[in-house]
Structure 1
Amino acid sequence: MGRHRPGRVVGVALKVIDLGAQLRRIEFLVPELIPSGYITFLGAREGVGKTTIATALAWQMTRPEGRGEFLGRPVPRGPVIYLNTDAADGESRPVRYWLEQHRNSHPDGEMGGVTVLETTGAGLTPEELGELLGMARDMGARLVIVDSFMGTFPTLDGNKLDQAMRPMLALRDFAAQTGAAVIVTDHLPKKGANEKEGDRGIMGSTGKSAQARAVHLLTRVPPKEVEGRDVLRWEVRKNSFHRSGYALGIEVERLQDEEGRAYGVNLFPCDLPEEPEGQDTRSDRARAAVIALLSEHEGQTVTHAQLEAAAVQGGNVKERSARQAVREALGALGGLVREVRLGGRGAPRAYTYRPEPVRSEEALLIVEEIPPLPLNTHPVREEVLTWD
């Protein structure tokens, strides 16, 4: 059996890892939630509160050492960069508004601790990302917020793996080189019939979530379930270095001055309403992952095995439950999915999702010589940093 020296580069893009070397300890900017040196995704529908939450963390990091806290967890003091591209207006009014609201609630912070940036063109180019990297190094930034992925890379099709992977690899290297926690906000797709908000996760290619080490979803709890209060549900969908698969409650308290105008805001951890009895949220998520994979790759052929794999990963379920989730998801989609048989040994099953219902004369089982969707497509080489 051949041996290769640890650290040696094999071929063009492969490196032998020294399994005997001691692994470095993973540091968390926010204990148990947001790791330093890696990408964290925070997804939500528009208007739910991504900017409120992101600026809350940024502001807490400008407070004196030992005073900052986020969702009941201590956070360190340190420089923050906030790249605002989601609502860029030349003044970053939404970001400044929320920073001022947090300042009014916690006046011991400093506005100078947050550097707010906007792009002057159509998103961020690879060269501009390099400039941002240099700025983060010079400042010793401990947190970099990219708000949002769609606004920062508007020329890319986020549904295509090869296009989504390019900026994700660049941001991954950015986090590793600076040691900063890089939080990327993104959007959730509009929920479909019989879906819960956030069931399908981050909008676009699964390659985005795959490159992030932590993925959190932010949704609003219906006020009728929490006595009319403003409560957000923070779901820990993925956390490679800590526990995942649970949710936190965040109550948003808005303060008003004597004239009834918004003056400040406080965030408090709170309990979430109990799930209805008998509801298996893992099965729900497994079904949602199957539906997401099909709708994400509209018009393309996805094999039954690939759907099962998505159910296993999305719902953290075993193979038997994954098969059941696939059956239920296909049943829910009904005529929107066409079943085909691929050519070759065993004629494996595959499915194609189309937004228009299949006509009755087309609803027959069809045998096709169609290659399955290449879900395991390898990303482009990391040294090629270009969005197009």
Structure 2
Amino acid sequence: MSFLAAREGVGKTLLSAALAWQMTRPDGRGEFLGQPVKRGHVIYLNTDAADGEARSVRFWLEQHKAAYPDGDMDGVTVLESTGAGLTPEELEQLLTLAREKEAVCIIIDSFMATFPGLDSNKLDQAMRPMLALRAFAAQTGAVVIVIDHLPKKAANEREGDRGVMGSTGKTAQARSVHLLTRVPPKEVEGREVLRWEVRKNSFAKSGYALGIEVDRIEDEDGRVSAVHLEVCDLPAEEDTRDTRGDRAKAAVLSLLIDKPGQPLTHAELLATAIKGGNVKERSAKQAVKEALGTLGAQVEIMQLPKRGAPRVYTYRPEFALEDMPPIAQDVPAPVASRPLEEVLTW
């Protein structure tokens, strides 16, 4: 499960629709930002549309279709908002649909509109749908992409500095977090360029950023008829902010979350922070402290009956994924023996 977060109007739907369309193209033809993508059915759950008609999603799919006509519009199922968000019963219906379609990707746009009754700033409330979505991904084998928002930047703050809006528990539960911001046109000769930053990735270094140029192709009447995305260089940044602490914290979070139920010593967490962020011991200790604070009560702390009474930390989410029915690797899962609402409610 991954997060893609940006401020309103930056291009979240544009990019997610681009990925969805590329996945409908014939085998070996689909590519996203220069990387090959797997062909398969995509379900796009759009709860963020003010009109409830998912017009922006359909608009962008048509624009991408004009640029790459070999895709298949039937390869994307767009589900529209009823204005009430997603209930646990509807999530179970979505699970059934994903299995029927053999979906390989589920896009949820957006977190706040899909779960409007929750206070996403509170860890206990934000964790409920996050754990349900992780279970959903495990049961379907599909990639789950959750679109969210960035908070409005404060004075002397760079866009995205505070990460995804709401509790940091959301970030902790995601496999990867991607932040999308707009590069000021004056810095790129008036072009439309987006900055895609990988804030957290369990499979690679975090803090990586790339530029994406949006090329809008106009027809004879000056209306946008197609859109094309191209990876480009980002302008040199004078920002000297050290992100090594963020990387160290992300490394510790990933270690704990990826090993639920497994006791980890403070020394192990410290070593992970030092290696993950390339920081010294003092900064590593701070990163460990912040990571433990992010997970809060989900981390069980015990002292061993040894010399110096060393502490061990065990990540224990409210509902562990191992309590879900077993899932065979790369094999469609059978229908769960118990409904999702019995596993998790909100």
Which category of TM-score, normalised to the shorter sequence, fits these structures? 0.7 to 0.9
Cα deviation code 1:166-208 (max 9, x no counterpart): 0000000100111111000000000011110000000111111
Which of 91, 116, 136 is the matching residue for 1:154? Answer: 116
Which of 31, 35, 47 is the matching residue for 1:73? Answer: 35
Matched with 2:47 is: 85
Matched with 1:36 is: none
Q: Is the 8 A contact 2:172 2:294 kept in 1?
A: no
Aligned counterparts of 1:233 and 1:166: Cα–Cα separation in 2 = 30
Aligned counterparts of 1:374 and 1:223: Cα–Cα separation in 2 = 36
Matched with 1:377 is: 297
Equivalenced residue count is 279
Aligned counterparts of 1:117 and 1:324: Cα–Cα separation in 2 = 43
Cα deviation code 1:358-377 (max 9, x no counterpart): xxxxxxxxxxxxxxx89512
Normalised to the residue count of structure 2, the TM-score between the two structures is: 0.75
CA apart distance, 1:244:
2.1
| 1:174 partner amino acid | F
Which of 162, 172, 180 is the matching residue for 2:142? Answer: 180
Q: Does 1:214 align with 2:173?
A: no
CA apart distance, 1:270:
0.5
Q: Is the 8 A contact 2:12 2:180 kept in 1?
A: yes
Aligned counterparts of 1:49 and 1:281: Cα–Cα separation in 2 = 27
Identity %: 71
Q: Is the 8 A contact 1:199 1:285 kept in 2?
A: no
Aligned counterparts of 1:323 and 1:197: Cα–Cα separation in 2 = 27
Matched with 1:258 is: 220
Matches within 5 A, 1:1-388: 39-276=1-238, 279-282=240-243, 316=277, 317-321=279-283, 376-378=296-298, 379-381=317-319, 384-387=343-346
| 1:381 partner amino acid | F
Cα deviation code 1:10-37 (max 9, x no counterpart): xxxxxxxxxxxxxxxxxxxxxxxxxxxx
Moved more, 237-246 or 101-110: 237-246
Matched with 1:360 is: none
Q: Is the 8 A contact 1:88 1:118 kept in 2?
A: no
When residues 282 and 374 of structure 1 are mapped into structure 2, their CA distance, relative to the original with a 3 A threshold, is closer
Q: Is the 8 A contact 2:169 2:295 kept in 1?
A: no
CA apart distance, 1:87:
1.0
Larger Rg: 1
Aligned counterparts of 1:188 and 1:274: Cα–Cα separation in 2 = 23
Aligned counterparts of 1:149 and 1:107: Cα–Cα separation in 2 = 31
CA apart distance, 1:92:
1.1
SS in structure 2 at match of 1:46? coil
When residues 375 and 102 of structure 1 are mapped into structure 2, their CA distance, relative to the original with a 3 A threshold, is closer
Aligned counterparts of 1:236 and 1:227: Cα–Cα separation in 2 = 25
Aligned counterparts of 1:381 and 1:99: Cα–Cα separation in 2 = 37
Aligned counterparts of 1:76 and 1:88: Cα–Cα separation in 2 = 31
CA apart distance, 1:285:
5.7
SS in structure 1 at match of 2:69? coil
Q: Is the 8 A contact 2:22 2:30 kept in 1?
A: yes
Moved more, 191-200 or 239-248: 239-248
RCO (CA 8 Å, sep 6+): is it higher in 1 or 2? 2
| 1:239 partner amino acid | N
Any gaps of 5 or more consecutive residues in structure 1?
A: 1-38, 290-308, 326-372
Aligned counterparts of 1:324 and 1:128: Cα–Cα separation in 2 = 41
Normalised to the residue count of structure 1, the TM-score between the two structures is: 0.67
Q: CA RMSD in A?
A: 2.6
Cα deviation code 1:98-128 (max 9, x no counterpart): 1111111111111100000023241000110
SS in structure 1 at match of 2:14? helix
Cα deviation code 1:313-354 (max 9, x no counterpart): 9x94445457999xxxxxxxxxxxxxxxxxxxxxxxxxxxxx
Cα deviation code 1:236-290 (max 9, x no counterpart): 111112232210110000010001011110000001111228x14416969xx9x
When residues 74 and 176 of structure 1 are mapped into structure 2, their CA distance, relative to the original with a 3 A threshold, is same
| 1:386 partner amino acid | T
Aligned counterparts of 2:143 and 2:246: Cα–Cα separation in 1 = 27
Cα deviation code 1:132-189 (max 9, x no counterpart): 0111011110110000000100000000010000000000010011111100000000
Greater helix proportion: 2
Matched with 1:361 is: none
Q: Is the 8 A contact 2:17 2:57 kept in 1?
A: yes
